[in-house]
Amino acid sequence: MTRAERRLWFDFLRGLPDRWRRQKPLGNYVADFYCAARQLVIEIDGDTHYVDRGPRRDRARTAALEASGIRVLRFTNLEVMQNFESVCERIVEAGEEDACKPPRRANARHLP
């Protein structure tokens, strides 16, 4: 895990009531963090995500996950390290939004 991923995991995600998994395989992808109860993926993007084909790959990955009913939140390493409380608030808000919706049934096994 990167420094930002470790911070998010040890200082926030692992203490939440819903179970979160690190480096969770979902079809052809491996999510940085995944919560099955919320059908939510959190990706922490480093510098390589913004060069060459990185942005295109990230868009394709997000589209494939969302097509399977999984919501994706993306943050940069910098956001996690410099705006940690804001990142945590956005994750909580996403969970609250999902709690107000009927359960979705993701089919992660059929991701491309």
- Residue 24's domain is classified under what CATH number? 3.40.960.10
Cα-based distances in Å from 45 to 37, 94, 97, 110: 23, 18, 23, 24
pLDDT of 102 over the 70 cut:
no
pLDDT of 86 over the 90 cut:
yes
- Determine the pLDDT at residue 56: 86
Confidence of residue 112 (pLDDT cuts 50, 70, 90): very low
Question: pLDDT tens-digit profile of 24-80?
Answer: 999 999 999 999 999 999 999 876 655 567 788 888 999 999 999 999 999 999 999
DSSP strand E in the chain: where? 21-26, 29-35, 40-45, 71-76
Expressed as residue numbers, the domain containing 62 is: 3-110
Q: Give how many domains the chain has, as a whole number.
A: 1
Confidence of residue 106 (pLDDT cuts 50, 70, 90): very low
